[in-house]
Chains A and B, each alone.
Chain A
Amino acid sequence: MTSGAQASATGRQASLEGTVQPGATVQPEATVQPGATVLPRLLSASGRPADLAEHLRVHGRLLYRGGARMLIHSIESAGLTGRGGAAFPTHRKLTAVADQLGVPVVVGNGAEGEPASDKDKTLLWSSPHLVLDGLQLAAEAVGARRVHLYLHREPALVRHLESALAGRAAAGLDRLQVGLVTAPARFLAGEESALASRVGGGAALPRFTPPRVFEHGVDGAPTLVQNVETLAQLGLISRYGPAWFRAVGTEAEPGSMLTTIRLADGSGGVAEAAIGTPISQLLKLDRYPARAVLVGGYHGAWLSPEQAGRLTLSNADLRPLGAAAGAGVLAALPVDRCGLVESARVVRYLALESAGQCGPCLNGLPRIAASLNQLAQRRSTPADRDDVQRWSALVERRGACHHPDGTVRFLRSALAVFTDEVTLHEAGRCSARSPEPFLPIPAGSPAREEDWS
């Protein structure tokens, strides 16, 4: 999904009527005022992509701070955290990179390897200049002299960014020229060590850490990797200040975040929501009941409808259940689908997306996927369930990257939330009425070395 028309906006207190239908135009054009709680902040309010003229009319030129580190204090007061999944405090990463000896490289991460997420592509389509402002400001903050934008390999999106960059060059906005690097459509392509390898000219394969990317990343230089949404937020905070940023969200997790929403009726889109918005509201669970809710994408976790009904989109609510807001994926599984069949499809996809570099990932994930498939196909016994659990424990924390851990988290939540269904399947039955696949799984798994670059 690259069309800006798919991006829709969400009012914070609004009932979210019609907010996530593709193509919906929602809010009247609104200029963001300091202290305003109006959303969207990040996505273009008109629903059309904001070109440079519109960007400058709404937000004005970007304001360089005139030296390294000067912006970091505002970012700290704002309490901005990374929007790429881990919610790591952005000011700490900026400081860590600025403290390194070498001259840093800054990379905006728009790989969006997660198939269930569209928010980075939508943001880059809708508000490229906010992201590019953030990239320049982050580079100034850490004293970088080289910046890249790493983005999902999609010709229309790449052209869109190329023309945005050309417009900025003509207007003399950018101090550093931005190099565009395309990411292969691999689940792991956005993992930061894979990103560093790809930006350095290699394949998008995770490598063994430490050293971490912030110490030793692209071509060995200290590297700041920041999700594109994080950069866009930085572009806004630099203009409107920390207090404005904190006007929405919760005290512990301030601000708004982009979410990719899939309602149980099959519709969906990208919406900007205040952190702390009830999940049931975002997914309209009272109108479209769900069998279960997936939060955080394919490295995320399933929640039962009861859990989803009482929780908000925030790590404070989700972490105690082993889930996380992650990169903002929320999917409501329709009641007529089988959660085990869906989970088996996802785990199979994740196994095939393993880079095959570490033994536990290479040998373990395929076995887990095959066992889960047995279960989904109603050909298994309770002993298979034990096998899945045993293999899961064997691969956990044994990879060079987080892939086995994320996969195991997803799988365990499936077995916990769909436990009744597991019992039914072991008895040779299934409660689902529709065999139609629900969660998006990209066609084509990697088979050649070129598929990784």
Chain B
Amino acid sequence: MTTGTVFWYASRATGVVSLVLFSVVAILGIMVNRQGRLPGLPRFAVTGLHRSLSLLTLAFLGTHIVTAIADGYAHIPWLSTIVPFTSGYERFWIGLGTVAIDLMAAVIVTSLLRTRLSPALWRAVHWLAYVCYPVVVVHSLGANKDLRSGWLLALTMATVFSVLTAIGYRILAAAATVPRPARVPRQLVRADRTGSLR
């Protein structure tokens, strides 16, 4: 294995791990939003896990990017880490990866500064994670042909399916939520209907 192929394989491997981690972070984020719990963990632990895994994803992503550029074969300029569609090699697929990095940076920076930002601004930027995820998936499938067959394809499908399931759950749960001002009247109607309460 030459130095070149080490970078090549490292980049591919960390890319796949990042995709899987990002999927887990997304699912945990939805759980935090719905105030869900994991068995045996207090509620705040889910928030903590969401946060630490997103930083871990960042570490893998950093390696993925650095090794991809350091790999002499692909010729990706450093500029491509922030400006999309500037890579000569696989311009479109790599460009999508850059778009994902920019979106992710916005989400992470606003989260780190969360206590100093208005909750509305933080929330608005955090919605970008839902845009970022499909971009990441398309980038992965486009840039890495290994993902299109065999067990890597199965892995990719499984992670995407899990995230879609979680999003579906979030939509259904949000639709079933009674707006705060309507909660008490609803409870009162229920209590009246049951009449004597025993």
Binding site for B on A (CB under 8 A): 348, 351-352, 354-357, 362-363, 365-367, 369-371, 373-374, 379-381, 383-384, 387, 445-449, 451-452
Contact of A449 among B180, B184, B195 (CB under 8 A): B180
Tell me the bound Cα distance from A365 to B180 in angstroms: 15
Instruction: Name 29 A/B residue pairs within 8 A (Cβ), A-sorted.
Output: A348-B188, A351-B184, A352-B184, A354-B184, A356-B180, A356-B181, A356-B183, A356-B184, A357-B180, A363-B187, A366-B184, A366-B188, A367-B191, A369-B188, A370-B188, A370-B191, A370-B192, A371-B191, A371-B196, A373-B192, A374-B196, A379-B196, A381-B196, A383-B196, A383-B198, A387-B197, A387-B198, A448-B181, A449-B181
B182 CB–A CB distance under 8 Å:
yes
Contact of A447 among B182, B191, B197 (CB under 8 A): B182
User: Closest approach, in angstroms, between the C-beta of B101 and any C-beta of chain A?
Assistant: 35
Q: Are A366 and B191 within 8 A (Cβ)?
A: yes
Tell me the bound Cα distance from A380 to B184 in angstroms: 23
Q: What is the interface of chain B mostly: helix, strand, loop, or mixed?
A: helix
The proximity string for B residues 156-198 relative to A, scoring 1 for CB distances below 8 Å and 0 otherwise, is: 0000000000000000000000011111110110111011111
The residue of chain B having its C-beta at the shortest distance from the C-beta of A380 within the complex is: B196
Tell me the bound Cα distance from A379 to B194 in angstroms: 13
User: Closest approach, in angstroms, between the C-beta of B161 and any C-beta of chain A?
Assistant: 35
Tell me the bound Cα distance from A262 to B171 in angstroms: 52
Residues of A within 8 A of B184 (CB): 351-352, 354, 356, 362, 365-366
Q: Are B197 and A384 within 8 A (Cβ)?
A: yes
Q: Are B187 and A451 within 8 A (Cβ)?
A: no
Residues of A within 8 A of B194 (CB): 370
Q: Are A371 and B197 within 8 A (Cβ)?
A: yes
Residues of A within 8 A of B182 (CB): 447
Interface centre among A370, A379, A447 (most CB of B within 10 A): A370
Tell me the bound Cα distance from A451 to B195 in angstroms: 29
User: Closest approach, in angstroms, between the C-beta of A14 and any C-beta of chain B?
Assistant: 45
Tell me the bound Cα distance from A355 to B185 in angstroms: 11
Pick the 9 closest A-B CB pairs, nearest first: A370-B191, A366-B187, A366-B188, A356-B183, A356-B184, A366-B191, A367-B191, A370-B192, A354-B184
Residues of A within 8 A of B191 (CB): 366-367, 369-371
Q: Are B179 and A449 within 8 A (Cβ)?
A: yes
Q: A367-B191, A369-B191, A384-B196 are in contact. List 17 more A-B contacts (CB 8 A).
A: A348-B188, A351-B188, A352-B184, A356-B183, A363-B187, A365-B184, A366-B184, A366-B187, A370-B188, A370-B191, A371-B191, A374-B196, A383-B196, A387-B198, A447-B181, A449-B179, A452-B181
User: Closest approach, in angstroms, between the C-beta of B118 and any C-beta of chain A?
Assistant: 11
Residues of B within 8 A of A374 (CB): 195-196
The residue of chain A having its C-beta at the shortest distance from the C-beta of B195 within the complex is: A374
User: Closest approach, in angstroms, between the C-beta of B181 and any C-beta of chain A?
Assistant: 5
The residue of chain B having its C-beta at the shortest distance from the C-beta of A357 within the complex is: B180
